[in-house]
Amino acid sequence: MSIKNRKNKVSVDKHESASGSTSSTSSKERKAISVEELEVPTLQWFTQNRSQRREQAIQDPKKSWKTSRRLVFTLGTIVGILIACYMGADHVRNNNSELFDSLSILNMDSVRDLIVDWKEVLPQSVASFLGDMQNGYSSENNFPDLTESFAVGKQMRRELNMTAKHPVVMVPGVISTGIESWGVEGDSECESTPHFRKRLWGSFYMLRTMVLDKMCWLRHIMLDPITGLDPPHFRLRAAQGFEAADFFMAGYWIWNKILQNLGAIGYDPDTMTTAAYDWRLAYLDLERRDRFFTKLKQQIELIHELSGEKVCLVGHSMGSQIVFYFLKWAEAKGEYYGNGGEGWTDKHVDSFVNVAGTMLGAPKAVPALISGEMKDTIQLNALAMYGLEKFFSRKERLEMIQTWGGIPSMLPKGGDLIWGTLNSSVEDQLSNSTESLGSFIKFEKLQENARFTKNFTIEDSIDTIMQLSPWWLQDRINDQYTFGYAKTEQQLKANEKHHSHWSNPLEVPLPNAPDMKIYCIYGIHNPTERAYVYREQPTNSTLNLTIDYDSTNPVYFTEGDGTVPLITHSMCHKWAQGKSPYNPGGSNVTIVEIKHQPERFDMRGGAKSAEHVDILGSAELNEYLLRIASGNGDTIQPRLLSNLSRWAEQIPFPM
């Protein structure tokens, strides 16, 4: 029975009830009405007489409610039919047009109008599906969903006959490798045995331990402040294998989609591996404690010998810095160095893929080391971040981070040359603010007897970190890292002899490897933290600087991928200019910028996300990686969508 028929029937019943009689004529009329108008309402009917139905809803709310339920039910039935037909498309693909032509109850003009009205609210997948319906769904426009497992790899194999060629070594970014407890001693206040082989970083067990035994979790996860290595009685190590970095915790993938798509074109554990490492350690301490770089070098040499193919190194975020450091380490001569000699890289490495790399650092590392900010500084999923923010004070977080020697490696490099002065920065043309982004830390409210009386540049901020840090952190930073830039070619070459320069591409050149190919792939068009407003708290001797969240604008943003500002990729553009002191072998450099276009209703952004972590699930990035690994990297065309190439020309590099 149609809704119109039901309305008429109700009015007849009311009339009979009021008169107290039931005539046969009325009964016949009711029956005639019921049969005559027994038809399915069209969408056009639902869109008519809106004002009249609104008045009826005001006069009779109960009746309007019942009517709306019928409306929802009818619409649900129609959508259900469409979905059922869609799901059966694989089996009756040739009959789709007949099926949809037979659904005469749909007025497609009305559907088109509704889609136009609601396209900003409907999920993209739903809008696309309904668009296919009204345009005549057919196999020609039936594109696969590239967010599905293995989708990119299967498509590349099917359409291009793509297969495995170069062995692939993947180096994860900061915090994305799980950390397990291997100690059985502990101390009188915190026992290690219950945590044996449990992940104290990168699992739900981590969250559980945070909540139930916060201090014991801290005792395990912090490093010895003096040595920068394991504290007495506690021992944590990086998880190994693909499980070390495929998921941060259940449901939150990191490298899993890349592993799936590589597997779809023929890769297996003999031809691909994950170089998991304890990201808490300073870079050379990875070698001193775990022989990480020695193992990585031997693994590359072995798979190169067995396969007869050079290796493809893929680094993400801090992992790209690790790869760059490793290439310098492998050829350097000395204790704890690789001693591979010049030419090792050109012999063993086909390509270096830098995915969203922090080659010139990330400004977010500064507030992490000044005031213990971790919400966006250390990329975690929301649940893990909630645990750190909820159960640990800034002071506790700062003391923990200061023991992690790997975090200072991400401090910005190049000083005023790259990041600007108090009055100017190449990024200022993107900002509507009258203040320069080169003024990195701003003080809007100067306290009485304040220690800090002027704004800081990036260079000033790193000096401040050194002043505020304990002596053991100062010594570790001085021994492990540098943040300036070489001014002459002779200085650039001299710096290759000491490990403190190897994480800074402004102070050492690329290996002399003419045959190695470099790919820089990163996201753009995602607002990224660039500068901060701070306030001083002289009464707090342990944490006297904090972000001023009472300010109208405590954080300034710039162009980037949500974590790493665009300007940090300027080194790739300098390398791409050809043979130079920075690129002595003239290695070919291909730069691809991916626009961040997240799906509104997908928590991870979908196949078009270019966010700093979620880019690892991007269909476009996965396609590029498969092309490079399969030996088809030369088919990738450079794509520059931002102003960075122009900025790189404006930066006064000394060479």
Which residues are catalytic, by number? 317, 561, 612
Q: Are 568 and 320 in contact (CB under 8 A)?
A: no
295: region left, alpha or beta (phi > 0 left; psi from -120 to 50 alpha): alpha
Q: How far apart are CA 529 and CA 527, in angstroms?
A: 7
By three-state DSSP, how is residue 178 classified? coil
3-class DSSP state for residue 551? coil
DSSP 8-class letter at 588: E
Residue pair 170/314 in contact by the 8 Å Cβ criterion = yes
Provide the token pair at 371: 């005031």
Distance from C-alpha of 572 to C-alpha of 360, rounded to nearest angstrom: 10
Instruction: Tell me how far apart the alpha carbons of residues 408 and 413 are, in angstroms, rounded to a whole number.
Output: 11
Q: What distances in angstroms separate CA 248 from CA 255, 381, 584, one per listed residue?
A: 9, 8, 38
Distance from C-alpha of 326 to C-alpha of 293, rounded to nearest angstrom: 7
Q: Which residues of 467-498 are buried (b: 16+ CB within 10 A; e: fewer)?
A: ebbeebbeebbeebbbbebbeeeebbeebbee
* CA count, 13 A, side-chain hemisphere, 57: 12
Per DSSP, 560 falls in state B
**Helix ranges restricted to H, 375-437:** 382-391, 394-403, 415-419
Q: How many helices (H) and strands (E) does the chain have?
A: 26, 15
Pairing outcome for strands 179-181 and 349-355 = unpaired
Q: Residue 362 and residue 590: Cα distance in Å, rounded?
A: 22
- Of 289, 476, 455, which is closest to residue 369 (Cα–Cα)? 476
Do 373 and 547 touch, CB atoms closer than 8 A? Answer: yes
Q: For 175, which DSSP code? A: T
Please write down the long-range contacts of 73-77, taking CB distance under 8 Å and 24 or more positions apart: 74/3, 74/40, 74/41, 75/46
Q: Where are the beta strands (DSSP E) in 162-240?
A: 168-171, 179-181, 199-201, 236-238
Q: Give the pair of three-digit tokens for residue 375.
A: 């919400």
What is residue 633's three-state secondary structure? helix
Tokens of 439: 């003024």
- Helix ranges (H only) for 485-537 are 489-494
Burial of 567 per CB tally in 10 Å (0-12, 13-18, 19+): buried
Spell out a b/e string for 590-609, using b for 16 or more CB atoms within 10 Å of the CB, else e.
bbbbbebbbbeebebbbbbb
Q: Are 267 and 629 in contact (CB under 8 A)?
A: yes
